Chains A and B, each alone.
Chain A
Amino acid sequence: MAELQDKISKKFPGATFEESEMLLINIADAQLHDLVKTLRDEHGFNYLVTIVGMDWKTSLGCVYYLADAAMSRFVSVKTQTEDRDNPMLHSIADLYRIAGILEREVYDFYGIVFIGNPDMRRLFLNIDWKGFPLRKDYDMNDVANAPSIENERQSDLTQTWVELPDGKVERREEIVFKPEDFVVNIGPQHPATHGVLRFRTAVDGETIKKIDVYMGYIHRGVEKLCEDLAYMQTLHFMDRLDYFSAHNYHHGLCLCIEKAAGIEVPQRAVVVRTLMDELSRIASHCLFIGTFCMDLGATTMLFYTLRVREQVLDIMEKTCGARMTFNYDCIGGVMADIHPDFVKDVKALLDTLDKNVAEYNKLFTGNVIAKNRLEGVGVLSHEDALSYAITGPSGRASGWACDVRKLVPYGAYDRVQFEQVVRTEGDSMARFKNRVDEILQSKHIIEQLIDNIPEGDYLAKVPKVLKLPVGHWFQVVEGCRGVFGVYIESDGSNKPYRLKLATPSLNAAAVVDHITRGQKIADLITIGGSMDYIVPDMDR
């Protein structure tokens, strides 16, 4: 890191550095694009983890989290602008394709315009929304944005800000769909969008020309809500993002808070958390297999996979008392000790897994229709997977070994043996097979831990009112769908000043347009299904 700091400071004399858990580079907006380009091209930081929009009261700005593909090094870049009325920063959408949509999110919440971003519309809020809700001076009174009974206004136009050669910035209008395009509205109420997501799809016969993703139908403003809640209370929302990886997301936020507060978690809790993560993964992938096959018309598969999922949920219910919103991991450990039957039940589950997975493969994976529907459909290249930051099983299907459990081990993952399931085809079949195989890897992990759950406390002593020191922390964990990142900025109080949740589903939805072009309408369902996005996870 020191070497990197030297090189950057030579090339960018204006940059200042802060060393916390990772190197933070402060840079002026004018040099941001060049700096990020240097980091990407010369130092291998080709994975944009997230962009955190920030309001520091005196200034608005962004923190960019970058990593290399192997996640061995992380670096953060901070840039800000003092202009609160007309904040503008330069876009890096040309460097990382995912930045396009992440910048739209920042624009939506903070009103920061990104010069050069080709599509500067709001992302989650509707067009007529007044104000930028995550700014600290936002008027929370609902008079300005009273609930409307009118149809939501929509526009086929988008806007973009272009920097002219003389340095002036000009706003331009661009067209999303031409009047002669045959646009089919798939969603927000549609069986294959797996929630309230909307694809405006321009088609030519059965062939897809362009997709415009509309999201935000179940945007709840979790990040804003968290700013008014104590750290313990913020945890409850993690169940409600990606509800299939509730344990994993809880784990991520707990790790971040524990790291900031310096809390040591008892070993028993560490192992139990890891076990729960992997059980969630099995349940989540089972559900994926079932619903994905159902989308393709093979309805029966859903019932076979739900049998296994049901077994996992029964185990969860005994220990956590819930089947969906478990709320089990908490700061300093876990809420309750495992149920006396836990070990026995988990072993019974593991015994059935091999047989079930073999059955899934026999029924579906080898089927000639399934092969025709999946192979070569929605190919996501390795470069695009990195550029769109598609992580999790989908990213690993494109040949990017991006498993956080292996690359940046947390919990008990450093003491277990398992394989990263990596395929290079990048098509829907690879994404499907990856998830089937990951069930067996999760089984392998659980097998190693289930007989070695350490005795002792399951919860560390944590002060009733937890205050974090001033500073900021970032933590990544492996959710069931990819890398889940948590950013916490604290001003020393018992509430987070800013809590940013970087979720994999947003990226998965953003890439759909890119990989469906030129494919058939039926392939949109295949591709959307194989990306396995969860709508509450992208909307937050």
Chain B
Amino acid sequence: MDNYTIDNFHSFTEWFDHLLNGCMPGWLATTIECLLVGVGLLLVYAVLALFYILYERKICAYFQCRLGPNRVGPWGLLQSMADAVKMLIKELIELKHIDKFLFALAPYLVIIASMLCFAVLPWGNGLQIINFNIGIFFLIACSSIGVLGILLAGWSSNNKFTLIGALRSGAQMVSYELSVGLSILTMVAFAGTMDVVKIVEAQADHWFIFSAHIPAIIAFVIYMIAGTAETNRGPFDLPEAESELTAGYHTEYSGIHFGFFYLAEYLNLFIVSGVATLMFFGGWMPFRVEGWDGFNEIMGYIPSVVWFLMKAFVLSFVIIWFKWTYPRLRIDQLLSLEWKYLLPINLVNLVLMVIIIWQGWYFGNF
């Protein structure tokens, strides 16, 4: 493995693994590693959510000529902490005439779906939970579980607004998953692998958005649109369109159950940006130019985790920008956008990509 950046987590994790295996039986070492990963994941998850809530509130405040949160802590930094505490101590309101089991299950499904996606995201050089050869496929598969949670939430609440919200969400997510899948497939075809580590390393000298030029840019635009729709964010926030359905599928939820939906929304935003970073902007790979060794070395001094997070946050900024600028689409317009425009363009784009690969009309060599 080349040292693209100064931090290389491979050596650390291998050293730690050897250390544990050296002083205890194998099963115990694995259990301890799993526990540590689990705790770490939960922590990162919570911190990211807190960060994202503040990030979006600050950005939208500046769009709207406001200051945003500025009372709790310096520059309102502790505002999301306060919100989280409030969310945790709120009452879980018991509803009558609902399917209690499904009602309680739904938020967990949503949050599990987004947590599972974290498993394969490469955060940095050698920093990921599992590395296996169908990483991207696993990610898409996991993210589809989320829609099940939303459908269940809407259905089990026994409320007409939530039902309409859930059905909208079902139609929307099933449709837009096609576009997400196809635009990623386009890039997978280019990369020739579904292994996220290999995808990142293939972009060492040219990020895919540069090396695969036109089809990659088309795929990126489609991915961003579809990804925004996947996360139920504006202008595609129909499932929870507040001016139509009050809060859509999660109208009846309170306390931490509502918090899970809220959390999952922000984390999905991160996952969508993270996957876009991975597929188009080189993942954790620093910005390198072939031949400029000095420049590449300087770039390599910036840790890979920082590269990944920075890219993801910039892309998230774009998605947040959509939300605070555009009005919301209507359900029929939303579906016709997908089925009449994005899907055909995507299919043509896939063919275009195949031609480019076949003819070798791309930059870089792999």
Contact = CB atoms under 8 A, between A and B. Distances in A.
Interface in A46-68: none
Interface string B80-104: 0000000000000000000000000
Interface of A: 182, 184-185, 190-192, 203, 206, 293-300, 302-304, 307, 363-364, 367, 369-370, 372-373, 520-525
Contacts of B328: 296-298, 369, 373, 522
Contacts of A296: 243, 327-328
Contacts of A367: 326-327
Contact of B243 (A182, A206, A363, A525): A525
B325 A297 contact: no
B242 interface: yes
B329 A295 contact: no
A373 B60 CA distance: 23
Interface string B320-359: 0000111111111100000000000000000000000000
Given A191-B242, A297-B243, A300-B63, A372 B160 contact: no
Interface string B106-149: 00000000000000000000000000000000000000000000
Interface of B: 60, 63-66, 160-161, 164, 168, 234-235, 237-238, 241-246, 324-333
B235 A369 contact: yes
Contact of B326 (A192, A295, A297, A303): A297
Given A182-B160, A297-B328, A299-B60, 8 more contacts: A206-B332, A297-B234, A298-B328, A299-B324, A373-B333, A520-B332, A521-B244, A525-B243
Contacts of B60: 299-300
23 contacts: A182-B160, A185-B160, A191-B243, A192-B243, A192-B244, A206-B164, A295-B243, A297-B235, A297-B237, A297-B243, A297-B328, A300-B63, A307-B65, A364-B327, A367-B326, A372-B330, A373-B327, A373-B328, A520-B330, A520-B331, A522-B238, A522-B241, A522-B331
A184 B164 contact: yes
Contacts of A363: 325
A218 to B, nearest CB: 20
A523 B243 CA distance: 11
A300 B64 contact: yes
B164 A370 contact: no
Contacts of B245: 521
Given A184-B160, A525-B243, A372 B329 contact: yes
Contacts, number: 84
Contacts of B329: 369, 372-373
Which residue of A206, A297, A300 has the most chain B CB atoms within 10 A of its CB atom? A297
A454 B243 CA distance: 47
B327 A298 contact: yes
A94 to B, nearest CB: 34
A203 B241 CA distance: 17
B243 A303 contact: no
A521 B235 contact: no
Contacts of A299: 60, 64, 324
Nearest to A363: B325
Contacts of A300: 60, 63-64, 324-325
Nearest to A302: B64
A184 to B, nearest CB: 5
Which residue of A300, A302, A367, A523 has the most chain B CB atoms within 10 A of its CB atom? A300
Contacts of A184: 160-161, 164
B326 A298 contact: yes
B224 to A, nearest CB: 16
A294 B64 contact: no
A40 B324 CA distance: 50
Contacts of B331: 206, 520, 522
